[in-house]
Amino acid sequence: MGEDIDTRKINNSFLRDQNYVTEADIISTVEFNHTGELLATGDKGGRVVIFQREQETKSQPHHQGEYNVYSTFQSHEPEFDYLKSLEIEEKINKIRWLPQQNAAHFLLSTNDKTIKLWKVSERDKRPEGYNLKDEEGRMKDLSTVTVLQVPVLKPMDLMVEVTPRKIFANAHTYHINSISVNSDCETYMSADDLRINLWHLGITDRSFNIVDIKPVDMEELTEVITAAEFHPHHCNLLVYSSSKGTLRLCDMRAAALCDKHSKLFEEPEDPSNRFFFSEITSSVSDVKFSHSGRYMMTRDYLTVKVWDLNMETKPIETYQIHDYLQSKLCSLYENDCIFDKFECAWNGSDSVIMTGAYNNFFRMFDRNTKRDVTLEASRENSKPRAVLKPRKVCTGGKRRKDEISVDSLDFNKKILHMAWHPTENIIAVAATNNLYIFQDKVNSEMH
């Protein structure tokens, strides 16, 4: 599939031309809203940047569908927990949009400990003609007021206001890794390493604990929760993944505490492989329901697996992302790359899945045709309107031209976070501190 590039590179670094990346600018989450009109990114510095898609106009056909900065705000600040003498990072771990119910947009953003509900609203009119105040807001001299007037709303320059509406704090002992809004649009869950809490969007002073896998004796700890998500349609179903590579589907109707799973999705491990690091590579880093709700996709270090909710014994599809790294696991362990948590994404019709890799590569797999493609998100190779060229990693033997050998992969350039537009073939890919937005114009009708 041809990919047309419509690139937006957001680099807040002061020394951008020198390729200097400040850690605060590293993008840590990317999320489209439910219509795809807005795209939110969170970074390690606690900031959220919202992009809005331009409306297509006939006068500027080439600029249709471009994303421009809509609003920027500081969501979380670094905090210090005095009781534990621990610093709480301001890095935004996840952003989730709420389904839009009125003119304003709402999103949830979370760091390690605190979730915040933000209201994003536009103001393009302001009242003018106050009786007691003049235009600058100063009090009028009452003696000059002779006639009463009704203030009228006059248009003004568009102003985007972002205000914190709710702050959900002090409910997590461990680091929050996921949040997920329920399909009932009233509740949401937040998951940390050992517990999952259920919140009501309007109530901040209490939450219900629905999953708790903390052992009585911490010495017996063997697995942690790595990701969790509500089912897109069934408000009672949620899934959470573990560091052991298992998925647990829980039904909130069964019991108040969903420690006991309704379904356990686990693939028996191949005993012959991977020696020291098999436990790390089997840890699930991301789980996503398909839009249909029939399937789930999990990402572990080397593979993406698609599961059918009706079959617990094994995934229905397994895709090798970068199997050539198997021989390099030891050095990846040393440089901590083996702990990278890659995300994955479905396209709108659930026919294509996408995930990131190293060297700023990302891969797409067509589930129907079984074709896959590796693409690169880089400034050098991306010019506006240019078509992305498929890349290939040479795994052994003779390296062909245009192929990249495994040893020359840059493991500092990794694509961990990405999002796919809910209906169209537009993808947002975060490469360290840059955001790339790609659009597939050729096949936009087919998908």
Partner 1 sequence: MEFKVEAHRIMTISLGKIYSSRVQRGGIKLHKNLLVSLVLRSARQVYLSEQEELYLQQQQQLLLAQREQSPETWSDRTECEPPTEQSPSWAEMESNISKEQAPSWTEMGRTDSKEQPASWTEVESSGYKEQAPSWTEMARTDSKEPASSWTEMESNNPEQQAASWTEGQRTDCQEQPLSRVHSEERTDRQSPKGLEEGRATREPRAPCRAVAGCPGRLVRRTAREQETACTRKRRSPEQGAAAEPASPLKRARTEPVVLQANSQSEEEQMETSSNVSSLINIFGSSFSGLLTKEESEGESGQICCDQVLGSMGSWSRAIVAF
Our CB check for partner 1 shows the closer of 268 and 275 to be 275
- Among the listed residues 85, 143, 146, 368, the single contact to partner 1 using CB under 8 A: 85
- Among the listed residues 69, 86, 255, 264, the single contact to partner 1 using CB under 8 A: 86
| Interface of this chain with partner 1, residues 88 to 107, rule: CB under 8 A | 88-89, 91
Q: How near is the Cβ of 331 to partner 1 at its closest, in Å?
A: 10
Helix (H, G, I), strand (E, B) or coil at 430: strand
Q: With contact defined as beta carbons under 8 Å apart, do 148 and 176 qualify? A: no
Provide the sign of the torsion angle of the four alpha carbons 286, 349, 442, 55, taken in this order: negative
Our CB check for partner 1 shows the closer of 147 and 276 to be 276
* Candidates 197-205, 330-338, 359-367, 412-420; binding stretch for partner 1 (CB under 8 A): 330-338
| Interface of this chain with partner 1, residues 408 to 427, rule: CB under 8 A | none
Q: How near is the Cβ of 334 to partner 1 at its closest, in Å?
A: 6
What is the side-by-side strand order in the sheet with 247-251? 225-230, 237-242, 247-251, 263-265
Tokens of 303: 């593979």
Q: How near is the Cβ of 296 to partner 1 at its closest, in Å?
A: 20
Q: With contact defined as beta carbons under 8 Å apart, do 372 and 365 qualify? A: yes
Helix (H, G, I), strand (E, B) or coil at 407: helix
Does residue 169 interact with partner 1 by CB under 8 A? no
Q: Which residues does residue 355 pair with via DSSP β-bridges, in sequence order?
A: 344, 363
Our CB check for partner 1 shows the closer of 130 and 174 to be 174
| Interface of this chain with partner 1, residues 178 to 197, rule: CB under 8 A | 193-194
Q: How near is the Cβ of 330 to partner 1 at its closest, in Å?
A: 7
Dihedral, 36, 42, 47, 49 alpha carbons, nearest 10:
-20
Our CB check for partner 1 shows the closer of 81 and 184 to be 81
Q: Which residues does residue 29 pair with via DSSP β-bridges, in sequence order?
A: 42
- Among the listed residues 17, 136, 270, 334, the single contact to partner 1 using CB under 8 A: 334
Q: How near is the Cβ of 87 to partner 1 at its closest, in Å?
A: 5
Site string (105-124) toward partner 1, x via CB under 8 A: -------x------------
406 burial type by CB count under 10 A (0-12 exposed, 13-18 middle, 19+ buried): middle
User: What Å distances lie between residue 190 and 37, 135, 176, 340, 416, CA to CA?
Assistant: 25, 46, 7, 21, 20
- Among the listed residues 55, 339, 402, 446, the single contact to partner 1 using CB under 8 A: 339
* Candidates 62-70, 143-151, 331-339, 428-436; binding stretch for partner 1 (CB under 8 A): 331-339
- Among the listed residues 74, 149, 173, 443, the single contact to partner 1 using CB under 8 A: 173
Does residue 277 interact with partner 1 by CB under 8 A? yes
Angle at 241 between CA 239 and CA 245, to 5 degrees: 140
For the chain, the residue count is 447
Does residue 377 interact with partner 1 by CB under 8 A? no
| Beta carbons within 8 Å of 368's beta carbon, 6+ residues apart | 351
Does residue 87 interact with partner 1 by CB under 8 A? yes
Q: Which residues does residue 39 pair with via DSSP β-bridges, in sequence order?
A: 32, 51
Q: With contact defined as beta carbons under 8 Å apart, do 278 and 303 qualify? A: no
Angle at 395 between CA 7 and CA 377, to 5 degrees: 5
Does residue 52 interact with partner 1 by CB under 8 A? no
Q: With contact defined as beta carbons under 8 Å apart, do 170 and 112 qualify? A: no
- Among the listed residues 148, 271, 276, 400, the single contact to partner 1 using CB under 8 A: 276
* Candidates 50-58, 143-151, 271-279, 359-367; binding stretch for partner 1 (CB under 8 A): 271-279
Q: How near is the Cβ of 340 to partner 1 at its closest, in Å?
A: 11
Q: How near is the Cβ of 219 to partner 1 at its closest, in Å?
A: 4
Q: With contact defined as beta carbons under 8 Å apart, do 286 and 343 qualify? A: yes
Site string (201-230) toward partner 1, x via CB under 8 A: ----------------xxxxxxxx-x----
The site that binds partner 1 (CB under 8 A) totals a number of residues, namely: 36
Q: How near is the Cβ of 217 to partner 1 at its closest, in Å?
A: 7
Q: For 260, what's the count of Cα atoms within 13 Å in the CB-facing half-sphere? A: 4
Does residue 83 interact with partner 1 by CB under 8 A? yes
From the list 252, 250, 356, the residue with the least C-alpha distance to 301 is 356
Q: With contact defined as beta carbons under 8 Å apart, do 401 and 388 qualify? A: no
Our CB check for partner 1 shows the closer of 217 and 407 to be 217
Our CB check for partner 1 shows the closer of 278 and 318 to be 278
| Binding residues vs partner 1 (CB under 8 A) | 83-89, 91, 112, 173-175, 177, 193-194, 217-224, 226, 243, 275-277, 279-280, 283, 330, 333-334, 336, 339
